[in-house]
Amino acid sequence: MVARPPLKVLIEAMRLEDLDEVERIEEASFTTPWPPNAYRSELMTNRLASYLVARVDGRIVAYGGMWLMVDEAHITTFAVHPAWRRQRLGERLLLAFLDLARDRAAREVTLEVRLSNLGARRLYEKYGFRPVGLRPRYYSDNNEDALIMTTEPLDNPRLRARIERLRVALDDAPPPSGPFEPDEDPTIGDHVAPPAPPPSADR
């Protein structure tokens, strides 16, 4: 039996032609997905926004968005297709956003996450995010509270050393093995209502 070649992961900027695949992941990940025109508008008109996708052998399996407002980078949306979770794709995407924020001279990165989304919270904590506040009844689908999480300053030597250690470990990790049937385990996927005009960005 011929061994299957390892799957290749590529993180790159989201394009307009990616939006059909992004929308499928959006609908699979959220009970209140953003409307189809939200991402198109963000890509075409929002100069503060950066959107990335993760491709596995050319297929989009995860995506996220970030706004840079003055010196703060704010992750606005983040999702991994249910069939591709637990293969460190969300981790690769998060690392790409941290690199992008630093390249663009952001001082720190912040986000909101559902209190119940333990999988996402553990991932963010692993990369140096810490709880700094709470937004009561933040999510419109079930009025769940949002935990506000923020990194230390991105130029903090302690955080930089942590990120580099995690980068090496991620580079050494096995590649994704392929899609599987989703289950009821905690997910990587959070955002709020469709994005408002900047600078009033709340995740």
Residues with catalytic function: 112, 124
If you search the block for the tokens 């394009």, which residue do you land on?
A: 15
Distance CA 153, CA 172 (A): 27
What is the torsion angle, in degrees rounded to the nearest 10, for the CA atoms of residue 171, residue 173, residue 174 and residue 177? Answer: -90
DSSP category for residue 35: P
Answer yes or no: are the C-beta atoms of 80 and 157 closer than 8 Å: no
Answer yes or no: are the C-beta atoms of 29 and 187 closer than 8 Å: yes
CB within 8 Å of 184: residues ≥ 6 apart: none
- Output the CA angle 113-115-33, nearest 5 degrees: 50
Distance CA 123, CA 5 (A): 28
Structure tokens at 177: 């093995």
Distance CA 123, CA 170 (A): 13
